[in-house]
Structure 1
Amino acid sequence: MREFCKKWYQRIATRDMAFIGVLTLIASCVASWLKQLPVLSLFGALIIALLIGMAAQFPVRSWYVGDSADRKAGVKDAAGLISNKLLRLGIILLGFKLNLQVLFTQGIKCLPIAVAVVTLTIVVCYAIARRLGVDPQLAILVSGGTGICGAAAVMGLSGSIKVPPEQESEKADNEVMAVAIIAIMGTIFALAEIVLGPLTGLSSTQLGITAGASLHEIAHAVAAGAAFGAVDIATIMKLSRVLMLVFAAIVISIWWDRNHSAVPASGKRTVSFPWFMLGFIGASIIGTFVPFIASVTPQLVDIAYVVLGMAMAALGITVNFAAIAQKGRKAFLASFLTSILLMCFAAGMAMLFF
């Protein structure tokens, strides 16, 4: 235990960790403020934090790292640790946002739709992406982000996928690429639904269900639901999909280990179980049924977004722009085609059941 603590202390208590920690905290706080602006509210704090981190990459390289190999390695290690560990903490804290009592009462009709939407979207998007030649890891991250809840789903599923140390940088690039694709896609389809929704003849409730069942980020569903005068039902429908993140993360973790992880020299395969998802469920239960916790839930959710924003900014600091430009186009097309099918399917479910 002493050696373990010493090892982590030496890794955390560094100048590079302090620098990246402060930088990502500032980026996250600025993103939380910027998301209140009318246009930027469609993107949400996590996407904005990622963009700030990507922009900060250049001054960090020129002013802080310079020609120092040690600082370059230190920045990479610090950013990797923040994006990895704070991601899990943020996902757990985000569980306080999920009120299970509301979902299993007011949203009881939404849950079967959420199961169908998430399952079909992930399967269809992954199949299209693979047919287009997208590599499996990027394909499953884009599929999860499209089907579940945008950036948070990408990061949650990524945390469930175990890769060798030499593939960590590629995995980080895939995370950023998937988040960027879903951010653009979600904004496009949120605007499309807001404009086209009133022309379809659907009721405000049906439009709210369609928005919650088809749009990618929570911010997108809330914005569209507000435009239709159905923000409550749109949010409940969206949170029903968020709940599916737990089950999707577990299933995808097992599937990935069986189909894409190399068998160790010992011949024994170990499954990487996403334990932090149990924390997500635990936080949901506590936030729903413990009265004094419910009174501070908004503050806990705010902290969750700050922590997740730091993880996103850390990802942006180390992103490989060349890799994104080279690999992102086909994944974007797969998500775009799937999003069209998803919007039509969600509208059909809304017409049938609401």
Structure 2
Amino acid sequence: MRVLRAIRDFCTTWWRRIATRDMAFIGILTLLASCVASWLKQFPGFSLFGALIIALLIGMAVQFPIRSRYVGASGERKAGVKDAAGLISNKLLRLGIILLGFKLNLQVLFTQGVKCLPIAAVVVTLTIIVCYAIARRLGVDPQLAILVSGGTGICGAAAVMGLSGSIKVPPEQEDEKADSEVMAVAIVAIMGTVFALVEIALGPLTGFTATQLGITAGASLHEIAHAVAAGAAFGAVDIATIMKLSRVLMLVFAAIVIAIWWDRNHSTVPADGKRKVAFPWFMLGFIGASVIGTFVPFVASIAPQLVDAAYIVLGMAMAALGINVNFKAIAKRGRKALLASFLTSVLLMCFAAGIAALFF
């Protein structure tokens, strides 16, 4: 009876939080923002940013009419919008990351990409360590520093949001954490776009083969969209994508390691004296989706549709994140983190080019 009562109370609490007008309003709004972003990404220029970044920008833009037209002077509605957007960004993020696992064909990675996997492990590890060290030396707070480092080293916005699930903070710091997420996503989006254009412009001047240029793009550029765009420009989209997805796979290991590291170095001991590591359990779902999508024929046939669904769900999470963003905090805290990502991106591009020249 006690178990049944606990389950009933749990369901009742969540139903009261979900079944609200504010949740319906924000849910529909973020779904529309995500669908519009997915539509816009097919056009030149927008394709370089990708659907997730566009959805974030839409969320940031609609924040103002929501405040003036929907919230107004109502403190209750303001709190409802904040809670709804926070819940969507938090829970749909995890669902989207799990669904994104269907994009990883492990058979391809462990055959055609077998040479890329150790390179990805080295690139991701060094990039995160170097970027974090530079950011901290510049005075960036640890939370923002590690998110920017992960986004720069692994796979842009998806990595930022995935690693954010590894960072456990007290309730009073949740707003600061959300602002750090938005700043990190914006920074890696800007840097990824800039360096994609740089590599597309400089690539033909290096004398590299198409394969070497594709490896450089996949090993150095931040978003999957950036690596695909640069790889297509060089006629090496397949190898660029495989190299990039090898880095995406490293997100699982990075999330686990960072969860343990953050708990040891930055978590506070609660009043009851018991500490719990914010283990990113959803990463096990990500791996499970990869395995199922690779080895179950029926699921493999619909994997592209599941990946499209992942981007819709992640787009909703990004739009919700944009709705709650604090612009003053971004302006105040983001400049040094941007510089850290820029310096690291320069080093990463040179390192990736060196690897491509030596091994391909």
The TM-score normalised by the length of structure 1 is 1.00
Confirm or deny: 8 A CA contact 2:148 2:341 kept in the other structure. yes
Equivalent in the alignment of 2:39: 33
Over residues 270-317 of structure 1, what are the superposed CA-to-partner deviations in whole Å (9 max), with x where a residue is unaligned?
211100000000000000000000110011000000000000000000
Alignment of 1:108-257 (within 5 A): 108-257=114-263
Kindly state the Cα deviation for residue 34 of structure 1 after the two structures are TM-superposed. Answer: 0.4
Over residues 188-235 of structure 1, what are the superposed CA-to-partner deviations in whole Å (9 max), with x where a residue is unaligned?
000000000110111100000000000000000000000000000000
Alignment of 1:228-307 (within 5 A): 228-307=234-313
Q: What CA distance in whole angstroms lies between the structure 1 residues aligned with 2:277 and 2:259?
A: 7
| 2:88 corresponds to 1:82 | yes
Q: What's the Cα RMSD here?
A: 0.5
Equivalent in the alignment of 2:72: 66
Kindly state the Cα deviation for residue 264 of structure 1 after the two structures are TM-superposed. Answer: 1.7
* Secondary structure of 1:162 counterpart: coil
What amino acid does structure 1 have at the position aligned with 2:54? I
Q: What CA distance in whole angstroms lies between the structure 2 residues aligned with 1:273 and 1:33?
A: 34
* Secondary structure of 2:114 counterpart: coil
Q: What CA distance in whole angstroms lies between the structure 2 residues aligned with 1:299 and 1:211?
A: 26
Structure 1 runs (4+) deviating above 4 angstroms are none
* Secondary structure of 1:149 counterpart: coil
What amino acid does structure 2 have at the position aligned with 1:269? R
* 1:316 paired residue among 308, 314, 322: 322
Equivalent in the alignment of 2:4: none
* Secondary structure of 2:43 counterpart: coil
Q: What CA distance in whole angstroms lies between the structure 2 residues aligned with 1:184 and 1:64?
A: 31
What amino acid does structure 1 have at the position aligned with 2:204? P
Confirm or deny: 8 A CA contact 2:93 2:317 kept in the other structure. yes
Q: What CA distance in whole angstroms lies between the structure 2 residues aligned with 1:142 and 1:155?
A: 10
Confirm or deny: 8 A CA contact 2:165 2:278 kept in the other structure. no
Q: What CA distance in whole angstroms lies between the structure 1 residues aligned with 2:278 and 2:343?
A: 31
Q: What CA distance in whole angstroms lies between the structure 1 residues aligned with 2:262 and 2:106?
A: 29
Kindly state the Cα deviation for residue 266 of structure 1 after the two structures are TM-superposed. Answer: 2.8
The TM-score normalised by the length of structure 2 is 0.98
* 1:342 paired residue among 339, 348, 354: 348
* Secondary structure of 2:47 counterpart: helix
Equivalent in the alignment of 2:52: 46
Over residues 57-107 of structure 1, what are the superposed CA-to-partner deviations in whole Å (9 max), with x where a residue is unaligned?
000000000000000000000000000000000000000000000000000
* 1:332 paired residue among 299, 324, 338: 338
Kindly state the Cα deviation for residue 348 of structure 1 after the two structures are TM-superposed. Answer: 0.6
Kindly state the Cα deviation for residue 180 of structure 1 after the two structures are TM-superposed. Answer: 0.3
Unaligned 5+ residue runs, structure 2?
A: 1-6
Equivalent in the alignment of 1:24: 30
Q: What CA distance in whole angstroms lies between the structure 2 residues aligned with 1:339 and 1:39?
A: 21
Kindly state the Cα deviation for residue 267 of structure 1 after the two structures are TM-superposed. Answer: 2.6
Kindly state the Cα deviation for residue 263 of structure 1 after the two structures are TM-superposed. Answer: 1.1
What amino acid does structure 1 have at the position aligned with 2:64? F
Over residues 237-270 of structure 1, what are the superposed CA-to-partner deviations in whole Å (9 max), with x where a residue is unaligned?
0000000000000000000011000012233322
What amino acid does structure 2 have at the position aligned with 1:278? L
Kindly state the Cα deviation for residue 186 of structure 1 after the two structures are TM-superposed. Answer: 0.3
